[in-house]
Structure 1
């Protein structure tokens, strides 16, 4: 990636802030591996070129990242990143661009939480064909998320984006999302788990203060390990 010209596209502060906001909106509770996987999916899409020639174009592409769609189609409307969040994504980006962090997704350009998509399909909110993108084999499974190099429609053909196969019976927002060609991240795909009690607020506001220690199953897989069974948190 360092020699592909991609480094120049993600060098600016706007591009990096966009990646940070989306990565945490999509996988903020999936640990560093989950964050890195989302970052790589974005980078792979930028390299691919089908969703735009810049980071911001890729992230704002219509109907692709649901947090962006819910924010009106502009990543700038997502919550601003904190100092700790930026540090984590900067580390992931820099290691990736230097060739020191392998692509955990094996080249993925799509991802979803299959369980949440299946639940939505069972309620008639989305097409059954969106579950695993028409039974597409994942290139990686990281936490609650499955990643895919390409997505297929229910008919099994390779597609640039998952095509809608029926009119959703859910909310107008769901209809707008599906009519746009489907999202790579269907629904609120964060894994359901115990909430970690928030630390005391910093007197200087969001983005200030020290990193919060968060219990993790495998701290050895985290980039910032702060103690036995602990990794750096995401909200301070």
Structure 2
């Protein structure tokens, strides 16, 4: 399925399905080859950004913000072909959103305070020198005060 179709579908879906679709798309594009913990950490970063309100008022707005996450960077013609990886991303997105709906003191956190990450084999951003929260798989998770 083409990325543009999934994002179009998300724009039509009611909440919370729209946000889950956008979060699953982000997990798929950013971390489908990463371990489950790494995929959960990517979801946590997106949800933390959403909660902060600094990047958008919906998960879809956050992950589609220009230059922030893969849905806003990857060509809209990109074809998402790995059904197994999509199904896993969908499940992780749902579980992550349920976890994030808990009171903050009850959430299971994987990368506390991290609101940025990068794939080590692709890029080393200028902001990567800030506090390293964790390295999971091929991703570094960063907190920028």
Tell me which of 67, 70, 75 is aligned to 1:66: 70
Provide, for residues 27-60 of structure 1, a one-character-per-residue CA deviation record: whole Å limited to 9, x for no partner.
1111210111011101110111111111111111
Partner of 2:51: 47
* Residues 45/78 of structure 1: CA separation in 2 closer, same or farther (3 Å cut): farther
Distance 1:90 1:66 in 2: 19
Distance 1:56 1:14 in 2: 7
Structure 1: stretches of 5+ with no match in the other structure: 1-9, 119-129, 151-157, 159-236
Partner of 2:39: 35
Structure 1 segment 1-236 matched on structure 2, within 5 A: 12-72=16-76, 79=80, 82-98=86-102, 101-118=107-124, 130-131=125-126, 133-150=127-144
Aligned length: 127
Secondary structure of 1:139's match? strand
Distance 2:21 2:52 in 1: 21
The normalised TM-score by structure 2 is: 0.72
* Residues 27/134 of structure 1: CA separation in 2 closer, same or farther (3 Å cut): closer
* Residues 85/110 of structure 1: CA separation in 2 closer, same or farther (3 Å cut): closer
Structure 2: stretches of 5+ with no match in the other structure: 1-13
Provide, for residues 53-77 of structure 1, a one-character-per-residue CA deviation record: whole Å limited to 9, x for no partner.
11111111111113431234xxxx7
Secondary structure of 1:105's match? coil
1:101, CA displacement in angstroms? 4.9
Task: With a CA cutoff of 8 Å and minimum separation of 6, indicate the structure with the bigger relative contact order.
Answer: 2
Report the structure number with the largest CA radius of gyration: 1
* Residues 94/134 of structure 1: CA separation in 2 closer, same or farther (3 Å cut): closer
1:136, CA displacement in angstroms? 1.6
Equivalent pair of 1:16/1:90 in contact (CA under 8 Å): yes
